[in-house]
Structures are given as C-alpha cells and as structure tokens.
A and B are shown apart, each in its own frame.
Chain A
C-alpha cells in the first residue's frame, strides 16, 4: 500500500471507524464516564478528519520558509487553525462534563445511567 492510497482512502475509513465506534460506544455503555470517553472519541475523529483534509504528502509546515514562495508546497494552514478552536471547544465540553460527573457522583453516589434513571422516576 503506497502512502498516496493510504492518505486518499484508507485514512478516511479509519477515521469513520473511530467516529462510528465512538457513536455506538456512547449508546452501548451505561456508565457515564465511558459515555464521556466515547464522546471524546467522536470529537477526536472530527479533528483528525479536518487535519487530513489539509494534509499533503511532502508538504511543508505552514510557516514561511525563505525562498519557498509556491503555496502548493505548504500544508493548508486553515484546517489546523480551525481545529485549534475546535480543540478548545472539546476541552471546555469535557471539563464541563467532568464537573457534572463530580456533582452527580456526590448526589447519587453512582455513575450508572440506568440506576439514576430508575431513581429519578421515584
């Protein structure tokens, strides 16, 4: 398998696999921490997807190199800039979720979703 084939097809399937496994993991698990981890898998898959979009085989880091004026020689910097923002968003959702988990653990003394749902109906 050449690098070109890998970067134009296989990697997208791998990313899709990561994304889908996150999605099903979230539906499958009743433990809230595992749900959160599955959610992080999905977020990571999307970040990888964007980064691969901007990737070029043999591309140069998008910081101006003296003498290199051909824009095609550089990796596309826009997806990287976008994903920097998306990583910050992921960080804050994960942080917020962990804070909620601390509160849930303190109040319900369990992190099992079906158990909490059962007690909530009472």
Chain B
C-alpha cells in the first residue's frame, strides 16, 4: 500500500464522497466517524508522502504502471507535498468544525450530508490539482474542485445562489481559457506530460502559439486564484457562502490554483531561464503587488467583518504569486510558508466569524464591543490569527514576510520590499480596529433606542466544543508554524525545485 500513496491521496476522499450518502442512509450514527476517520487517514497519508519526499526526493507515480507519455503521472514534490498537507489538514479541521454548524432538524441534517459530499469532492479536486503530473489531468481536477465549490457557495441562501452563478460563469470562462492554452501546447509539442514539456518547450518559447498558450493558461489560473484584476467573483462568493465551505475555499482551494501558477511557470515554461517566462513572472509580480495593496485598502473600507475577510483574502493570497515572481529560494520558501500560514489564520478567522454570528448575532465590526468578555477563547484565537495576518512574531505570518523580504532583497526588487512593509501596516490598520472593539471598548448600554442594548448574546456556553477545538487547533498551528518555520525551511522548503532556473 505504501507504494501507492500518491493515488490513494486522491482516491480516499473521492471514495469517501461517493460512499457517504449510502453510509448516511444505512447507519446515520456512523456518518461522522466514517467521515472523520477517512479524512484523518488521508492526513496521515499526506504526512507519509511528505516524509518520502524529504528522505528520497520527488515521487513520480505512474497510474497502472503506464509510462508517462501514454499513462497518467502523479508527482509529489516539496511544493505539491506542502499543498497536499495543507489541504488534508484543513479538511480534517473543517470537518470537525462543521458538525455543529448545521441545525439538527430534518432539513439541517440533509444539508449537512450534501455539504459533506461536496466538501470531500472538493478535497479530491484540490489534492488532485496538487499531484497531477500532466496538464489535462490538472484541468480535470481543477474542474472537480471548482464545480463542487460552486455548489458549496450556493448552499448559503438566496444571495449566495446568485453569487455562485456569477462565480460559476467566471470560473468556467477561466477553465476554457486554460483548456485553450492546453490545446495550443498540445498542438505545438504533441504531449501533455509536464516533465516532457519542460524539455520540449524551451526551444519553442519564441513562437507566438506558445506565447498565446502561456497567456491563456495564466489568465485561467489567475482568475481562479482571484488575482487582481480578475478577482471580481471573490468578495460576493466569500461573503454569502456557508462558513465551513468558505473556510476551505479561501484557504486550500485558492492555494492549489496559486500552486498551479508556480507549476506552470517553473516546471513547464522554464522559469527565469527563459526571457518570455521571465517577463511573465515580472508581470505576475506587478499584479500580485497591486492585489496586495488593493485588497488591503478595500479591507479597511469594509464595515462588515466577513466582507473584510473576503478582501483580506485577495491581499493575502497575492503573497504567494509575489514569492513565485521573485523566484529566489528564500522567496519560494516564503510562498510555501504562506500557503500553510494563511490557510490556518484565514481558516481560523472565518470560523470565528461564524462563531460571532452564532453567539453575538452580528458580524458588523462596530458591534463587536465587549466580545472578549462573552467569547474569551474565540477572542484569543482572533488575536493570534490577526497577529499572523499583520506579521508580528512569533506567529507564522511574520516569517512569511521575513522570507519574502529577504528574497526581494536578494533579487534586488526594492519596490517589492516597500509593498510588503506597506501591506503589513495596512493589515495592522484593519485588524487593530477589530481588536480595539473586541478588547478595549466596553459595550455601551442602549445608545440606539431602537437597538437592543450592547451585543445581543445567546445564553449558554461560548460555542459548541468541536468549533472551539477546531479554532484552538488552528491557533496552536499558527504559533507552531511560526516557531518551527526555521525547521520547515531547512528540511522541506529547501527542496523546492526551481527547475528552469530561479534568480
């Protein structure tokens, strides 16, 4: 079994998704145990795969033992292993969190089963994107992940259905762009395997068809990653969708597409070694910087916590393309660490958002006064993840910025360092505003006569135990990834290959 881990990583969530309705129908009591043990098993597989990568180098797995040009290849290396690990880990924590999220009546239970099926399908797609070794298999997994994410967003109610429709239209257009690029590459080279392409493409890089293919693929993946100016679908989808789904959408799904950008630019198109690709990387860097600033400024302008998180996602996700664009080993280590760091902190923030909704019945920032008294544990988790977003030590966010700034300095991109520092300040503006409301300001009794006094709280404990546990796991993870970032960089991120040549 050990020899088949790369394919099992995809098969386990897929089979779980297919078996879940049957299990739920026959033995409703076992559904949760079945789901969580499957996801935990998958996480264990991801850890084993990562260990194999660290000890023995990149893992090339041929499906059915068919050699690459004819068969399908799965590849686990340091970067895709990181994505798989993040995905499997977030999937387990979110599954833990999601159980109390749905009501225990008939409709709630039905929605919960539907949610879990779509959710595990999305996990399948995201892990598939990470391990796919040829560009058409990558397309199929992108669409598996995307279609299930459209369905998940639509579960959030009437506004969500409309947001999901727009997301679907834009996402599908992005997918046709990607497929068109794939077609051009196939027409020029006659192969779809990434390893083969990386040797066949370099002599052809001057041809207009390959240039068009590069543009189409980047447009497709850029839209899916929600890079400025292709981010239009994200704020609505992330505001109206159901929280557990969005916690996964904003973290693992976006990371996988950002990883796709890395995969194409470095392992297919030859990285900084090719003039055309170097140009593409430079444009990517400018767009990522624009995204960081735009997302941060828009986040400051929001009054609603959940909409603020959506814009903050646009800013934070752009750190990964920025690291990819810089292209030094330090910068790529920063990008990989951001995949871990942002997944945990943004996942945690979305969970807290939903907790506020349950307990305080509001997500308006101005109405969060006195939250630290009512929800002490959530406020602690909020502080840790906000610190990570801003980039304060010892959270992992600090080390992300540190690595990126170091990379930018090595590569001589002074303006990128300025953008990174500025974005830290902007993040501080909007997160300290929330922390001020949560910790310092006292709830005002009955200022608006038509409003109820202070934060209207539900009776009972802070939040259901699984929700709190999930938040605490993530908060602890943020600190652990921060403290252990040196170890991660040394043992894992140093193995990330810059096949075509970094800077």
Contact = CB atoms under 8 A, between A and B. Distances in A.
B169 A86 contact: no
Contacts of B187: 53
Judged by DSSP, the binding face of A is helix
Judged by DSSP, the binding face of B is helix
Interface in A27-42: 32, 35-36, 39, 42
**How big is chain A's contact interface, by range?**
20 to 34
B274 interface: no
B180 A36 contact: no
Contact of B165 (A45, A49, A104): A104
A23 B176 CA distance: 11
B256 interface: no
A93 B147 contact: yes
B154 A100 contact: yes
A107 B158 CA distance: 6
Interface string B161-204: 11011001100110110011001001100000000000000000
Given A96-B147, A120-B162, A82 B136 contact: yes
B321 to A, nearest CB: 24
Contact of A120 (B159, B169, B176, B180): B159
A89 interface: yes
B270 interface: no
B186 A79 contact: yes
A49 B173 contact: no
Interface in B138-161: 139-140, 143, 147, 150-151, 154, 158-159, 161
Contact of B169 (A36, A92, A104): A36
A92 B452 CA distance: 47
Interface residues of B, number: 25
A100 to B, nearest CB: 4
A79 B192 CA distance: 11
Contacts of B140: 85, 89
Given A23-B173, A89-B140, A103 B147 contact: no
A103 B154 CA distance: 9
B186 A43 contact: no
A17 interface: no
B150 A96 contact: yes
Nearest to A105: B161
Given A26-B169, A39-B173, A86 B159 contact: no
A32 B147 CA distance: 18
Interface of A: 19, 23, 26, 32, 35-36, 39, 42-43, 45-46, 49-50, 53, 78-79, 82, 85-86, 89, 92-93, 96-97, 99-101, 103-104, 107-108, 116, 120
Given A45-B176, A79-B186, A103-B161, 7 more contacts: A39-B169, A50-B186, A53-B187, A78-B186, A89-B143, A103-B154, A107-B161
9 contacts: A26-B173, A42-B173, A43-B172, A45-B176, A49-B180, A78-B186, A79-B186, A86-B139, A103-B154
